[in-house]
Amino acid sequence: MAEEVNKAEVKVSEVNYKVGEDFKATLTLFSGKEITIDLMKTSNKEWRSITNPKTTEDEEFTILAKATGLKPEDMSNMAQPDYRLILDAFLRLAIQPLTNPT
């Protein structure tokens, strides 16, 4: 049994993260504006917060603004389809595997 645990630890230590490839996404909003979402700008605490139903809109705006380089006011004032596109892209990017399988 101890041997199996050691094998698992070795396997985990061999993972190579491709930070520049795996944690950013560029998207074009319906309004035509191009933005980049960068997960490296957000913390684990912020990730947990944005997935918590008790998080306020202002907190959500602040987290997404941090990841996109926009201001929280920009997030709250943008067209709803653009906001949904950003939120959807942020969540899809955040739940992807840490490494590129190819």
Flag whether 10 is in a domain.
no
Q: CB atoms < 10 A from the CB of 87, how many?
A: 15
Flag whether 7 is in a domain.
no
Flag whether 39 is in a domain.
yes
Structure confidence by residue, pLDDT tens digits, 42-64? 999 999 999 899 999 999 999 99
- The residue-averaged pLDDT of 16-29 equals 69
* Distance from C-alpha of 99 to C-alpha of 39, rounded to nearest angstrom: 14
Number of domains making up the chain = 1
Q: Does the pLDDT at position 3 exceed 70?
A: no
Flag whether 6 is in a domain.
no
Looking at per-residue pLDDT, the higher value among 81 and 7 belongs to 81
What is the chain's mean pLDDT, rounded? 80
Looking at per-residue pLDDT, the higher value among 57 and 96 belongs to 57
Contact in structure between 26 and 34 (CB atoms under 8 Å): yes
Q: Does the pLDDT at position 29 exceed 50?
A: yes
Flag whether 78 is in a domain.
yes
At 51, which amino acid appears?
A: T
Cα torsion 9, 11, 16, 17: sign: negative
Flag whether 20 is in a domain.
yes
Flag whether 21 is in a domain.
yes
- The residue-averaged pLDDT of 29-43 equals 91
Element (H, E) at 45: helix 44-50
| pTM across the whole model | 0.73
The domain of 66 spans 16-94
Flag whether 3 is in a domain.
no
Give me the percent of the chain exceeding a pLDDT of 90.
Answer: 52
* Distance from C-alpha of 57 to C-alpha of 4, rounded to nearest angstrom: 46
Packing angle, helices 80-94 and 57-68, rounded to 10: 70
Return the pLDDT at 8: 39
